[in-house]
């Protein structure tokens, strides 16, 4: 169990807290909370109830299903927001471990939210051969559940990546012209 999960009581509470803190403008139903955190509906209901009782969340609207959103009047919102943002990161090894289930990555580059820049079009670039897109999407959703926010990613076959790099593709320039971090480079950039 992660150190922060111990502080906040459970891994489920930490995932729920991260989800709401990174998506403060969004009103989420219990089903959406469960899906995005990869928790069961009962666990998501319990964690949302705890955060609602603490005053961190408020009910939004009167329609069914009930939607929850961060309460902007919560006394410690700014401090909690800063704490969660400063302490949330995913270790590179866990990213690589998740991606290897989808195939053999030859190049993995982190940019965007992983480098503190929110402007680029993508956060994660994966290049490999015989990548299973379905398993890759599942691995990215798992990382999203851990981080509490959406990860924009792109994947390419090695030949397609080399072609795009040769024609100075804008998407690739957005990654490589801004701060980025290369986790694997078996292509030889």
Domain coordinates of the chain in residue numbers? 3-87, 92-185
Q: What is the pLDDT of residue 129?
A: 86
What is the CA 143 to chain-centroid distance, rounded? 5
Q: What is the pLDDT of residue 153?
A: 93
Q: Mean pLDDT in each 10-residue stretch from start to end of the chain (189 residues)?
A: 66 89 89 92 94 91 87 90 78 84 90 72 89 91 83 92 92 88 88
Token reading at 112? 């965007």
Query: Which helix H or strand E contains 136, and what residues bound it?
Result: helix 133-147
Q: What is the pLDDT of residue 22?
A: 84
Q: What fold is seen in the domain 92-185?
A: Beta Polymerase; domain 2 (3.30.460)
CA dihedral in degrees (141, 144, 150, 151; nearest 10)?
-80
CATH code for the structural domain at 3-87: 1.10.10.10
Q: What is the pLDDT of residue 1?
A: 45
């Amino acid at each position: 169990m992660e150190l922060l999960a111990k502080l906040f009581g459970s891994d489920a509470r930490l995932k729920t807290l991260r989800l709401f803190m990174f998506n403060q403008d969004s009103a989420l139903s219990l089903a959406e909370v469960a899906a995005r955190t990869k928790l069961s509906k009962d666990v998501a209901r319990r964690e949302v109830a705890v955060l609602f009782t603490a005053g961190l969340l408020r009910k939004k609207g009167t329609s069914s299903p009930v939607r929850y959103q961060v309460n902007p009047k919560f006394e410690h919102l700014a401090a909690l927001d800063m704490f969660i943002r400063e302490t949330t990161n995913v270790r590179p090894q866990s990213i690589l471990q998740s991606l290897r289930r989808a195939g053999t990555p030859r190049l993995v580059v982190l940019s965007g939210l992983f480098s503190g820049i929110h402007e680029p079009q993508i956060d994660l670039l994966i290049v490999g051969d015989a990548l299973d897109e379905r398993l890759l999407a599942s691995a990215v959703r798992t990382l999203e559940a851990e981080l509490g926010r959406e990860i924009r990613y792109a994947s390419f076959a090695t030949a397609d990546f080399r072609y795009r790099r040769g024609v100075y593709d804008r998407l690739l320039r957005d990654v490589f012209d801004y701060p980025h971090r290369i986790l694997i480079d078996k292509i030889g950039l």
